[in-house]
Amino acid sequence: FLSYSDINTEKDTTMKNYKLILQYDGTRYSGWQKQGNTDNTIQAKLETIASKLTGVPTDVNGSGRTDAGVHAFGQVANFRCEESALPPRFLRSEETVTDLIRDYFNNALPMDVRVLSVSEAPARFHARLNAKEKHYRYVIDNAAVPDVFTRRYAARIPTEQEVRVSYDIEAMQRAANALIGEHDFKSFCDNRHMKKSTVRSIHDIRIVLQDDRITMDFYGNGFLYHMVRILVGTLLEVGSRKRSADDIPRILQALDRREAGFTAPAQGLFLVEVTY
C-alpha cells in the first residue's frame, strides 16, 4: 500500500492531447515533414519547441505534408504530453493553459510561422488520421505585369514575365468537373513508387478568374504527393488549349503520370482548412 507521503509526492500523470491550428509562409522552408538532413521544416521546429515545453522528446502530428514552398492558412497538428510535464507556472496562472501553450510556441517560432490557437482535444484525436476533408487553394497571377507584392503567394505561369496566356476558364471548369468523385488518381501522383492506394475522392473544384487572378479551390478527403499541383498543371493546359477537357477520363484511366500535365510551382499553393 502507498503511504501518506507517497500519495502526496506522486506526480499527476494525466495525459493531455492538444490540437494546434497553424498559419505559415512556406517560402523558406523545406516543407512540413521533418527530415534527417535538415531541421528547416515546420514539423521539426514545432517538435523542438514542444520538447522544450514538456522536458521530454515530443512528437507533433500534422494533418498532412505540405511541400517545400507551400503555405498554410489552417494547418492542423496535435501533440500529447503529461499534464505534470508542463511548466508549474502554467498550472498556477490565471490564464488558460491552452493560451499559455499558444504563446509559448509563438514566442519561440520565427515570425513566418504562427500558432493561431490551441485547444484540448479528445485523447484519440489525431490530426492526420481523423481528417475528413482538406481544402487547398491555388493562386495564379495572370496580369500583364506581375504583382511585386504577391510574387511569393501567387504562381506565374509561364514564368517569363512578358508572356500572358488567355485561359479558357469555362473549359477548365468542365475538365475539373470530370475529376470530381472517387477515382484512382495515380496519373496525378509524382511518387512512382507509391505502394499504398492512390484512390481518393474529390468533392468539389471551383475555378474563378477575377482581376487577372485565377483561383482554384480543391476539396477532397485526401491528396497524393504533388496531386493538387499536377491537377492545376493539367487544368491550365486545358485552359491554354494544349489539351481538351474531354481528355480527363482517359488520363484517369491511364494510371500513368506521363499522361497528366506539368507540376505547377509550389508558391501558389495554400492549405486553407482541414475538416474533422
Query: Which residues are identified as catalytic?
Result: 67
Which residues partner with 61 through β-bridges?
78
Name all contacts of 109-114 with Cβ < 8 Å and 24+ positions apart.
109/45, 109/46, 109/49, 110/45, 112/24, 112/25, 112/27, 112/28, 113/22, 113/23, 113/24, 113/25, 113/42, 113/45, 114/22, 114/23, 114/24
In angstroms, rounded to a whole number, what is the distance separating the alpha carbons of residues 71 and 227? 15
Contact 16, 54 (CB under 8 A): no
In angstroms, rounded to a whole number, what is the distance separating the alpha carbons of residues 196 and 212? 39
Which residues partner with 257 through β-bridges?
none
In angstroms, rounded to a whole number, what is the distance separating the alpha carbons of residues 187 and 251? 7
